[in-house]
Amino acid sequence: MRVTITFFSYFKELTGCAQASETLPSGSTLGDLQKQLAVRFPRLAAMQNSTLIAVGVEYQGRGYLLKEGDEVSLFPPVQGG
């Protein structure tokens, strides 16, 4: 299963890219993806507890079951206004 990941705000600097893709076994969760990303992008690992995750335009928790083609977004706490 392949998913795409988009990084926002300073997560782009931490990862050195705005987008990435990952391949995971079926049945994987967002938590599994986050662990995989932490290995690939060690500077992101330190931010794990404050990272917000969305799939499409909805926030999702670490237990969300990923599907083929999901568009995942990772970003730090929001700061509008």
List Cβ neighbours of 34 (8 Å cut-off, separation of 6 or more). 48, 51, 53, 62, 74
Q: Based on CB atoms, which residue is closest to other proteins, 25 or 56?
A: 56
Residues 51-70 that bind other proteins (CB under 8 A): 52, 54, 56-59
CB of 16 to other proteins, least distance (A): 17
Phi, psi (deg, nearest 5) at residue 44: -80, -25
Residues lying near other proteins in the complex (CB under 8 A): 6, 8-10, 50, 52, 54, 56-59, 73, 75-81
